[in-house]
Amino acid sequence: MRYNGLIDKYREYLPVSDSTEIITLCEGNTPLIKADNLARKLELDCEIYLKYEGSNPTGSFKDRGMTMAVTKAKEEGSHAIICASTGNTSAAAAAYGAKAGLKTYVLIPDGYIALGKLSQAMMYGARVIAINGNFDNALDAVREISKNYPITLVNSVNPYRIEGQKTGAFEIVEALGDAPDYHFIPVGNAGNITAYWKGYKEFFNLGKSKQLPKMMGIQAEGSAAIVKGHKIDAPQTIATAIRIGNPASWKQAEAARDESKGTIDMVSDEKIIEAYNLLASTEGVLAEPASCAPVAGLIKLKDTIKPKSKIVCILTGNGLKDPDCAIKYAKSPVEKTTSDIKDIVKLMGL
């Protein structure tokens, strides 16, 4: 039977009824890639899996939450949706908004969103409003606007977003036959770590897994509010997706960490870029910089990992989202020559 998206697949665990019109782009069902080259390179006697969320229809995990949030907005009779975004949420909101026939407004921090994401939101026909402020300012604004006007907020403070995103954990448990030992995940606004932990707990309580993973949240050093224990007023990082100084789901992220006996740690931009190159060149997997933070986190914490463990890293967004970054940090430059075969062969060193 044709796969028709995660609400259809997991409807018994989601807040929909038989009469709900599902707004879907066939999101979810993403690859869980076994990363043996990476394990060897890190000299880790473990199974590492990469959950490649970049293969969702708009290229990030946000589609999981957005199918649910937009489905419910439509069901509840809303005519418009709004979000603040570092890029991926805006792309997903714009796409699902288009599919549902809703007016979509997205607020972005001017100059700090990757070009792929910006081009998506523009193409899907959203009203794209770039503000002279960061993500945290944009989130404050859309919270206020959605309170005062008939517009549905589709950031992850909307509980339906979390419901949709928890299905990532269901897919991992089904693919591995149990929850992994460690779950590494980037932390920005902290919705996704909240959602995965909820999903793991639900499947555990239903007897579908025998264990729960340790939740290993990874922030970027310049935006590591949870690690540092205070808001960051001017967050910085090359991983613009997680350039967030006041995570909305801060408390829930700490609960996931504490209940799972995991950790929330941070990595430098330099280590994020190292992991970015390593993933692409050893596994053939190009993920955007924010998505490489969990891999950098795994590298940082590898001596604390029990041998023979199963480790899942959530690669939240596609590397094609941020071509500028890829071209800037790729290890091998473009080599130029004439169209003469002799010159080409010479350059190749044959």
Q: Is 134 in the site for ligand AN7 (CB under 6 A)?
A: no
Which of 279, 90, 65, 31 is CA-nearest to residue 190? 65
Q: Is 87 in the site for ligand AN7 (CB under 6 A)?
A: yes
Q: Please select the residue that binds ligand AN7; options are 24, 30, 167, 189, rule is CB under 6 A.
A: 189
Pick between residue 71 and residue 134 the one whose CB is nearest to ligand AN7: 134
Report d(CA 153, CA 281) in Å as an integer: 39
Q: In whole angstroms, how close is the CB of 301 to ligand AN7 at the nearest point?
A: 18
In sequence order, what are the residues at sequence separation of 6 or more whose Cβ sits closer than 8 angstroms to the Cβ of residue 176?
32, 49, 310, 312
Which stretch of DSSP H or E encloses residue 109?
A: strand 103-109
Q: How far is the CB of 20 from ligand AN7 (least distance, A)?
A: 24
Q: For the segment 296-335, give every residue that binds ligand AN7 (CB under 6 A).
A: 316-317
Smallest gap from Cβ 255 to ligand AN7, in A, equals 14
Among 39, 44, 187, 272, contact with ligand AN7 (rule: CB under 6 A): 187
**What is the C-alpha separation between 100 and 55, in angstroms, rounded?**
21
CA dihedral 210, 212, 214, 216 (to 10 degrees): 130
By beta-carbon proximity to ligand AN7, the closer residue of 283 and 322 is 322
**Contacts (CB under 6 A) with ligand AN7, residues 261-300:** 288, 290-291
Report H helices in the chain: 6-9, 36-41, 62-75, 88-100, 115-123, 135-148, 159-165, 167-176, 191-205, 225-228, 250-260, 269-283, 289-300, 323-329, 341-348
Number of residues that bind ligand AN7 (CB under 6 A): 22
What is the number of alpha carbons within 13 Å of residue 10 lying toward its C-beta? Answer: 27
6 lies in the binding site for ligand AN7 (CB under 6 A): no
Q: Map the footprint of ligand AN7 across residues 206-245, applying CB under 6 A.
A: 241-242
Q: Name the phi and psi angles at 80, rounded to 5.
A: -150, 150
**Residue with smaller CB distance to ligand AN7, 209 or 316:** 316
Q: How many residues does the chain have?
A: 350
Comparison of 176 and 320: residue with beta carbon closer to ligand AN7: 320
SS3 labels along 33-46: EECHHHHHHCCCCC
Q: Which stretch binds ligand AN7 (CB under 6 A): 4-12, 84-92, 271-279, 333-341?
A: 84-92
Least Å from the CB of residue 195 to ligand AN7? 7
Count of beta carbons in the 10 Å neighbourhood of residue 120: 22
Range in contact with ligand AN7 (rule: CB under 6 A) among 81-89, 146-154, 205-213, 323-331: 81-89
- The helix (H) or strand (E) run that includes residue 266 is strand 263-267
59 binds ligand AN7 (CB under 6 A): no
Per-residue binder mask for ligand AN7 (CB under 6 A), 144-183, x = binder = ------------x---------------------------
Interaction between residue 50 and ligand AN7 (CB under 6 A): no
Contact 213, 200 (CB under 8 A): yes
By CB under 6 A, tell whether 60 contacts ligand AN7.
yes
Listed in sequence order, the residues at least 6 apart from 243 whose beta carbon sits closer than 8 Å to its beta carbon are: 86, 109, 112, 134, 135, 188, 220, 222, 223, 235, 236, 237
Which string of x and - marks every residue 94-133 that binds ligand AN7 (by CB under 6 A)? Answer: ----------------------------------------
* Burial bucket for residue 155 (CB in 10 Å: 0-12, 13-18, 19+): buried
Q: Which stretch binds ligand AN7 (CB under 6 A): 15-23, 85-93, 171-179, 331-339?
A: 85-93
Instruction: List the structure tokens of 234.
Output: 């001017």
Residue 89 lies near ligand AN7 (rule: CB under 6 A): yes
Min. distance of Cβ 112 from ligand AN7 in angstroms? 11
- Given a contact cutoff of 8 angstroms between Cβ atoms, the answer to whether 51 and 294 are in contact is no
Contact residues for ligand AN7, defined by CB under 6 A = 60, 62, 85-89, 156, 186-192, 241-242, 288, 290-291, 316-317
